[in-house]
């Protein structure tokens, strides 16, 4: 059985790692590794870019996955460097067509798109009953550059007594900003398996993505997870979310129309969110693997 090394910097939240391990387990042995390890022993090296993307044996099959575009500052310059100076792989995997077009590769290397999926626990939580602990929940990055405080401030202006749960690693800026508000609860980083239960313990899922390049072009995993748990979603307006809602006939409440959230008993929008197995199968990645 051939071996796959999934090479990551361990900086980003990558739920697809475990999804790949489960999906390919019957035909390959998979390990999550870092670049400091001996990568020459793997038959297939699967890099999540930001890593070097090197080949260590002539017969190795190399995959470069672009789960996102380069982050600010100098995003486009970083993308240019990746396009021009990194060695060619045998296959490229892109998050979506937006990311593929922005990277702009024009060589003969084959590519596929593999969008974000949702774990089984998020679908299972539809059938479970949870005590509601919070009015709103936010799951995801809370770096100061992501400006999540703008969404929280809007919610507190609308409902000063709103109970808000923040799941993830919070910046010092955010902790300091809301240190005096007992209704803002910092949950911290949790295991992936726990997230669905936390979402189910809230009335509303909060999605906030800065409407700036490249964030506004990329799939919001937390948005899909809220929908899978059948939560009402409050979000800001930006390119990807507006395109998704129109294409999939999904109703959300935008931050600039919070007055529509007059009752937290409004019904969540139904949406056909795909599981990880489904999105990986649709991508046809396996058809390219040796």
Residue 83, pLDDT > 90, answer no
Check if the beta carbon of residue 190 is closer than 8 Å to that of residue 164. Answer: no
Q: Evaluate if residue 90 carries a pLDDT over 80.
A: yes
CA 159 to chain centre: 28
Tokens 């000063």 correspond to 160
To the nearest whole percent, how much of the chain has pLDDT over 90?
Answer: 74
Average pLDDT over residues 38-45: 97
Confidence of residue 77 (pLDDT cuts 50, 70, 90): confident
Average pLDDT over residues 130-146: 90
Q: Is the pLDDT of residue 164 over 70?
A: yes
Give per-residue pLDDT as tens, 208-264: 999 999 999 999 999 999 999 999 999 999 999 999 999 998 989 999 999 888 754
Nearest Cα neighbor of 123 from 231, 238, 213 is: 231
Average pLDDT over residues 102-119: 95
pLDDT at 270: 64
Tally of CA atoms within 13 A in the half-sphere of 226 that contains its CB:
27
132-146 mean pLDDT: 92
Share of the chain above pLDDT 70, in %: 94
The band of 11, judged by pLDDT with boundaries at 50, 70 and 90, is: low
Q: How confident is the model at residue 86 (pLDDT cuts 50, 70, 90)?
A: confident
Average pLDDT, integer, range 124-131: 67
Report the pLDDT value the prediction gives residue 226, as an integer from 0 to 100.
95
Q: What is the mean pLDDT of the chain?
A: 91
Q: Report yes or no: 143 and 171 within 8 Å, Cβ to Cβ.
A: yes
For residues 107-112, give the mean pLDDT. Answer: 96
């Amino acid at each position: 059985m051939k071996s796959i090394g999934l090479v990551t910097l361990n900086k980003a939240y990558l739920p697809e790692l475990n999804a790949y391990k489960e999906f390919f387990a019957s035909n390959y042995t998979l390990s999550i590794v870092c670049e400091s390890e001996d990568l020459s022993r793997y038959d297939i090296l699967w890099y999540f870019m930001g890593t070097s993307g090197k080949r260590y044996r002539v017969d190795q099959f190399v995959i470069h996955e672009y789960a996102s575009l380069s982050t600010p500052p100098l995003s486009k310059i970083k993308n240019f460097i990746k396009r021009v100076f990194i060695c060619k792989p045998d296959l490229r995997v892109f998050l979506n067509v937006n990311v593929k077009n922005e990277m702009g590769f024009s060589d003969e290397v084959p590519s596929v798109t593999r969008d974000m999926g949702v774990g089984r626990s998020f679908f299972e939580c539809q059938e479970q009953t949870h005590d509601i602990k919070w009015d709103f929940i936010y799951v995801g990055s809370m770096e100061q550059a992501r400006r999540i405080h703008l969404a929280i401030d809007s919610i507190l202006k609308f409902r000063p007594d709103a109970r808000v749960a923040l799941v993830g690693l919070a910046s010092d800026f955010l902790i300091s900003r809301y240190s005096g508000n007992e209704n803002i609860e910092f949950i911290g980083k949790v295991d992936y398996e726990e997230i669905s239960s936390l979402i189910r313990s809230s009335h509303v899922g909060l999605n906030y993505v800065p409407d700036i390049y490249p964030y506004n072009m990329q799939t919001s995993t937390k948005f899909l997870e809220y929908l899978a748990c059948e939560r009402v979603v409050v979000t800001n307006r930006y390119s990807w979310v507006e395109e998704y809602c129109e294409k999939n006939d999904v109703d959300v409440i935008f931050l600039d129309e919070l007055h529509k959230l007059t009752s937290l008993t409004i019904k969540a929008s139904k949406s056909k969110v795909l599981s990880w197995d489904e999105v990986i199968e649709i991508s046809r990645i396996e058809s390219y693997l040796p």
